Structure 1
Amino acid sequence: MYALKDKEMIFVFTGPHGAGRKTVAEMSGSTLGMKQVISYTTRPPKATEEDGQDYHFISPAQFVQAQANDEFIEVSTVNDHLYGIKSADIESMFELSGSIYLILNRFGAETLRKLYGDRVVLIFIYADRDKLEQRMRESGDPDDIIAKYLSYYEDELSFRDECDHVFENVDLAHTVFDLTKTLDLYLNRNLVDLD
């Protein structure tokens, strides 16, 4: 496991599927000059997803081999697909940036918090159930997948009490603005507020 150096921080974006955590994380990360550690998964890519940008899409055999080689620091199963984070990826991203971010479900977030303690900042992004369903429909998710994700909604929402910061993502620009200001308190980048 990678040992964090002084001032290195890990920001973990979590929350229900469809809440916009990926978009919010990417926009905030870009503004603050942070690098993303991308997870590996055995699920097939959606039409809008790109290998190496959204996930590293690998076969179940490749995943099992990497797991056997003890390459993952965290592994979870969602909807019968495996997801994992490689320790080597965390280390290489820290070489490029003093702080990194990941987009994970609650189980991945909990694992990183256990591994790295208070150097992990958990950020919970959510929206109401109807908004999530609308966003999933707009992104072309099939009805059975939407129903499955919505069945986890209450359970996922309960995790917000475990997180350091909670943002309801109703208006993307406002969410990103507020979040970036909050993260800057950790990073001391001294962003200028032009309001």
Structure 2
Amino acid sequence: MSGTAEQETGDVLIAPFSGIECVALRYQIEECRLSFPYILPWYVTIHEATRAVEFSVQSAAGTVPITEPIRTVVLTNKIVETTSADRAPSERIKQFEQKHEDIPESTVWQRPPAPLEPLFRMLSLGTRRYSEQRAARGEDVTVVGHVTDGGSGIDPVVVSDRSSMATVFRMAKTSIAGLLVGVCGLLLGYFLLFFG
């Protein structure tokens, strides 16, 4: 179902890095590290979470409440802050990291051995990127899910800011990739069995 995210009353989420109010949210912290197969720096997710509060989707067909927990948020990614390893993040992000024990305060990528430090800084290793995907009240969203037992709402699987078709395609990409790998494996096995 596609429509406008509405919320008359109830709890509102505050995005942890930007402080913006929203009804659905996915946030993540990434750190620049070396990829050993390719020996190139890339961003690795070190913490992420998805949250939502009860809201409704208003469309031409009517209003449908979204009351169940959301499993996936596929919204436009907004990088709130990028902090190099030798700089402290903003106060808001610093407080957030201190409240969550599963976020490492420092890693070997941020505090390398002294002889390697110039190389790490040149490659920006240890740099952290803080991003959010959020749906605010009044924004257009697409919700994919199942009708609840009482028929009064949707148990959402995905909340997206893309069109209905783009959201379904995004959900199907993983399945299609797995199917293609399986077909390739079958063809290879067939070829080796009969021609090898």
Same fold by TM-score greater than 0.5: no
Q: Which has the higher helix share?
A: 1
Q: What TM-score does the superposition give when structure 2 sets the normalisation length?
A: 0.22
> Higher relative contact order at CA 8 Å, sep ≥6: structure 1 or structure 2?
1
Q: Which has the higher strand share?
A: 2
Greater C-alpha radius of gyration: 2
